Amino acid sequence: MKQKDTWSTIVNSKPALITAVVSVAVFTFSMWSYSSFLTGIEARLGVRIPDPLLGLFTPTDLSWLIFISVWGSVVIAFVGLVRSPQRLFHIMRAYTILIAIRIICMWLLPLEPPDGIIVLVDPIAKFFGAGAAQPLTKDLFFSGHMAMLCLLAFMFEEKPFKFFFGTLAIVVGLAVLMQHVHYSIDVMVAPLAAMAAVRLSKKS
Protein backbone atom coordinates (compact mmCIF):
# COMPACT_ATOMS: atom_id res chain seq x y z
CA MET A 1 0.00 0.00 0.00
CA LYS A 2 1.36 3.39 -1.01
CA GLN A 3 2.09 5.68 1.93
CA LYS A 4 0.34 9.03 2.12
CA ASP A 5 2.46 12.02 1.11
CA THR A 6 2.29 13.94 4.39
CA TRP A 7 4.75 15.47 6.84
CA SER A 8 3.68 13.01 9.53
CA THR A 9 4.62 10.15 7.20
CA ILE A 10 8.08 11.69 6.74
CA VAL A 11 8.59 12.20 10.47
CA ASN A 12 7.37 8.72 11.42
CA SER A 13 9.39 6.86 8.78
CA LYS A 14 13.12 6.69 9.39
CA PRO A 15 14.06 5.99 5.72
CA ALA A 16 11.81 8.83 4.52
CA LEU A 17 13.22 11.18 7.15
CA ILE A 18 16.80 10.32 6.21
CA THR A 19 15.98 10.89 2.53
CA ALA A 20 14.46 14.27 3.36
CA VAL A 21 17.42 15.38 5.46
CA VAL A 22 19.94 14.24 2.85
CA SER A 23 17.94 15.97 0.09
CA VAL A 24 17.98 19.28 1.97
CA ALA A 25 21.66 18.97 2.90
CA VAL A 26 22.79 18.15 -0.65
CA PHE A 27 20.57 20.89 -2.06
CA THR A 28 22.01 23.46 0.35
CA PHE A 29 25.59 22.44 -0.42
CA SER A 30 24.92 22.48 -4.17
CA MET A 31 23.48 26.00 -3.99
CA TRP A 32 26.55 27.23 -2.11
CA SER A 33 28.86 25.53 -4.62
CA TYR A 34 26.80 26.87 -7.51
CA SER A 35 27.09 30.43 -6.26
CA SER A 36 30.87 30.12 -5.90
CA PHE A 37 31.17 28.56 -9.35
CA LEU A 38 29.15 31.32 -11.02
CA THR A 39 31.39 33.95 -9.45
CA GLY A 40 34.53 32.08 -10.48
CA ILE A 41 33.69 31.65 -14.17
CA GLU A 42 33.52 35.41 -14.64
CA ALA A 43 37.33 35.42 -14.68
CA ARG A 44 37.56 32.83 -17.48
CA LEU A 45 38.01 33.73 -21.10
CA GLY A 46 35.38 32.27 -23.40
CA VAL A 47 34.28 32.48 -26.99
CA ARG A 48 31.61 34.73 -28.48
CA ILE A 49 29.51 32.83 -30.97
CA PRO A 50 27.56 34.32 -33.88
CA ASP A 51 23.82 34.24 -33.31
CA PRO A 52 21.65 35.61 -36.14
CA LEU A 53 18.50 35.13 -34.05
CA LEU A 54 19.65 37.72 -31.50
CA GLY A 55 19.98 40.22 -34.34
CA LEU A 56 16.19 40.16 -34.64
CA PHE A 57 15.81 41.68 -31.16
CA THR A 58 16.74 45.19 -30.07
CA PRO A 59 18.25 44.76 -26.57
CA THR A 60 15.50 45.49 -24.04
CA ASP A 61 15.74 45.40 -20.26
CA LEU A 62 13.22 42.81 -19.06
CA SER A 63 14.96 42.00 -15.78
CA TRP A 64 11.89 42.51 -13.64
CA LEU A 65 9.66 40.43 -15.89
CA ILE A 66 12.18 37.58 -15.68
CA PHE A 67 12.66 38.05 -11.94
CA ILE A 68 8.92 38.04 -11.15
CA SER A 69 8.23 35.11 -13.51
CA VAL A 70 10.96 32.89 -12.06
CA TRP A 71 10.77 33.64 -8.36
CA GLY A 72 7.00 34.03 -8.40
CA SER A 73 6.88 30.51 -9.85
CA VAL A 74 9.15 29.23 -7.09
CA VAL A 75 6.76 30.64 -4.47
CA ILE A 76 3.71 29.19 -6.24
CA ALA A 77 5.40 25.80 -6.58
CA PHE A 78 6.35 25.77 -2.90
CA VAL A 79 2.82 26.68 -1.82
CA GLY A 80 1.45 24.00 -4.12
CA LEU A 81 3.77 21.37 -2.67
CA VAL A 82 3.97 22.36 0.99
CA ARG A 83 1.44 19.64 1.88
CA SER A 84 3.18 17.07 -0.33
CA PRO A 85 6.68 16.84 1.16
CA GLN A 86 7.79 13.79 -0.84
CA ARG A 87 7.05 15.61 -4.10
CA LEU A 88 8.74 18.72 -2.72
CA PHE A 89 11.93 16.83 -1.89
CA HIS A 90 11.79 15.06 -5.26
CA ILE A 91 11.75 18.40 -7.07
CA MET A 92 14.55 19.58 -4.80
CA ARG A 93 16.66 16.58 -5.84
CA ALA A 94 15.83 17.16 -9.51
CA TYR A 95 16.92 20.78 -9.26
CA THR A 96 20.15 19.72 -7.56
CA ILE A 97 20.83 17.45 -10.54
CA LEU A 98 19.96 20.31 -12.91
CA ILE A 99 22.53 22.51 -11.16
CA ALA A 100 25.16 19.80 -11.58
CA ILE A 101 24.36 19.47 -15.28
CA ARG A 102 24.57 23.23 -15.75
CA ILE A 103 27.91 23.48 -13.95
CA ILE A 104 29.34 20.74 -16.18
CA CYS A 105 28.00 22.40 -19.34
CA MET A 106 29.36 25.84 -18.43
CA TRP A 107 32.72 24.34 -17.51
CA LEU A 108 32.99 22.49 -20.81
CA LEU A 109 31.78 25.40 -22.94
CA PRO A 110 33.02 28.79 -21.65
CA LEU A 111 31.30 31.62 -23.51
CA GLU A 112 31.60 35.37 -23.65
CA PRO A 113 28.31 37.27 -23.28
CA PRO A 114 26.40 38.17 -26.44
CA ASP A 115 26.87 41.56 -28.06
CA GLY A 116 24.47 44.14 -26.67
CA ILE A 117 23.86 42.29 -23.41
CA ILE A 118 21.85 44.12 -20.76
CA VAL A 119 22.93 42.62 -17.47
CA LEU A 120 20.14 40.70 -15.76
CA VAL A 121 19.31 42.05 -12.32
CA ASP A 122 18.28 39.31 -9.87
CA PRO A 123 18.13 40.66 -6.28
CA ILE A 124 17.47 37.25 -4.72
CA ALA A 125 20.38 35.55 -6.47
CA LYS A 126 22.58 38.46 -5.45
CA PHE A 127 21.39 38.14 -1.84
CA PHE A 128 22.61 34.53 -1.80
CA GLY A 129 25.99 35.53 -3.18
CA ALA A 130 25.63 34.95 -6.92
CA GLY A 131 26.76 38.16 -8.56
CA ALA A 132 27.18 40.05 -5.30
CA ALA A 133 30.78 41.07 -6.04
CA GLN A 134 30.25 41.70 -9.76
CA PRO A 135 27.43 41.23 -12.27
CA LEU A 136 27.15 37.76 -13.76
CA THR A 137 27.45 37.75 -17.54
CA LYS A 138 29.12 34.42 -18.36
CA ASP A 139 26.66 31.97 -16.80
CA LEU A 140 25.42 31.17 -20.26
CA PHE A 141 25.20 27.60 -21.49
CA PHE A 142 22.37 26.92 -20.75
CA SER A 143 19.67 29.27 -19.44
CA GLY A 144 19.19 28.46 -15.77
CA HIS A 145 16.03 30.56 -15.43
CA MET A 146 14.26 28.84 -18.30
CA ALA A 147 15.51 25.40 -17.24
CA MET A 148 14.07 25.89 -13.74
CA LEU A 149 10.64 26.72 -15.14
CA CYS A 150 10.78 23.78 -17.56
CA LEU A 151 11.69 21.49 -14.67
CA LEU A 152 8.61 22.64 -12.73
CA ALA A 153 6.41 22.16 -15.81
CA PHE A 154 7.74 18.63 -16.28
CA MET A 155 7.42 17.60 -12.64
CA PHE A 156 3.98 18.91 -11.75
CA GLU A 157 1.29 16.40 -12.64
CA GLU A 158 -1.62 18.85 -12.47
CA LYS A 159 -2.43 20.29 -15.91
CA PRO A 160 -3.05 23.89 -14.72
CA PHE A 161 0.41 23.97 -13.12
CA LYS A 162 2.00 22.38 -16.19
CA PHE A 163 0.40 24.98 -18.46
CA PHE A 164 1.30 27.86 -16.12
CA PHE A 165 4.97 26.94 -15.69
CA GLY A 166 5.31 25.90 -19.34
CA THR A 167 3.92 29.23 -20.53
CA LEU A 168 6.24 31.17 -18.25
CA ALA A 169 9.19 29.10 -19.49
CA ILE A 170 8.44 30.29 -23.03
CA VAL A 171 8.00 33.89 -21.85
CA VAL A 172 11.30 33.85 -19.96
CA GLY A 173 13.06 32.15 -22.87
CA LEU A 174 11.99 34.96 -25.18
CA ALA A 175 12.78 37.60 -22.55
CA VAL A 176 16.40 36.51 -22.05
CA LEU A 177 16.87 36.58 -25.82
CA MET A 178 15.35 40.06 -26.09
CA GLN A 179 17.64 41.22 -23.29
CA HIS A 180 20.62 39.55 -25.02
CA VAL A 181 21.41 37.78 -21.76
CA HIS A 182 21.67 34.40 -23.52
CA TYR A 183 22.38 32.95 -26.92
CA SER A 184 19.55 31.12 -28.66
CA ILE A 185 21.38 27.81 -28.14
CA ASP A 186 21.24 28.42 -24.36
CA VAL A 187 17.46 28.67 -24.55
CA MET A 188 17.06 25.67 -26.85
CA VAL A 189 19.10 23.37 -24.62
CA ALA A 190 17.41 24.42 -21.35
CA PRO A 191 14.29 22.20 -21.74
CA LEU A 192 16.47 19.21 -22.70
CA ALA A 193 18.63 19.69 -19.60
CA ALA A 194 15.54 19.98 -17.43
CA MET A 195 14.11 16.77 -18.88
CA ALA A 196 17.40 14.98 -18.26
CA ALA A 197 17.40 16.17 -14.64
CA VAL A 198 13.83 14.95 -14.14
CA ARG A 199 14.61 11.50 -15.54
CA LEU A 200 17.79 11.16 -13.50
CA SER A 201 15.97 12.22 -10.33
CA LYS A 202 13.53 9.34 -10.76
CA LYS A 203 16.48 6.95 -10.54
CA SER A 204 17.94 8.58 -7.42
In a domain, 2, yes or no: no
> Nearest-CA neighbor of 193 among 99, 73, 77?
99
| Angle between helix 144-155 and 85-108 (nearest 10) | 150
What count of other Cβ atoms lies within 10 Å of the Cβ of residue 47? Answer: 8
In a domain, 154, yes or no: yes
Q: Provide the residue range defining the domain that includes 52.
A: 7-203
In a domain, 196, yes or no: yes
Domains of the chain: total = 1
Taking the C-alpha atoms of residue 140 and residue 181, their distance in angstroms, rounded to an integer, is 8
In a domain, 1, yes or no: no
CA distances from 12 to 2, 3, 131, 189 (A): 15, 11, 41, 41
204 residues of the chain, pLDDT tens digit each: 456 777 888 888 888 888 889 989 999 999 888 888 988 898 889 999 999 999 899 999 999 999 999 999 999 999 988 888 888 999 999 999 999 999 999 999 999 999 999 998 777 766 555 545 567 889 998 999 999 999 999 999 899 999 999 999 999 999 999 999 999 999 999 999 999 999 999 876
In a domain, 151, yes or no: yes
Model confidence, pTM: 0.88
In a domain, 41, yes or no: yes
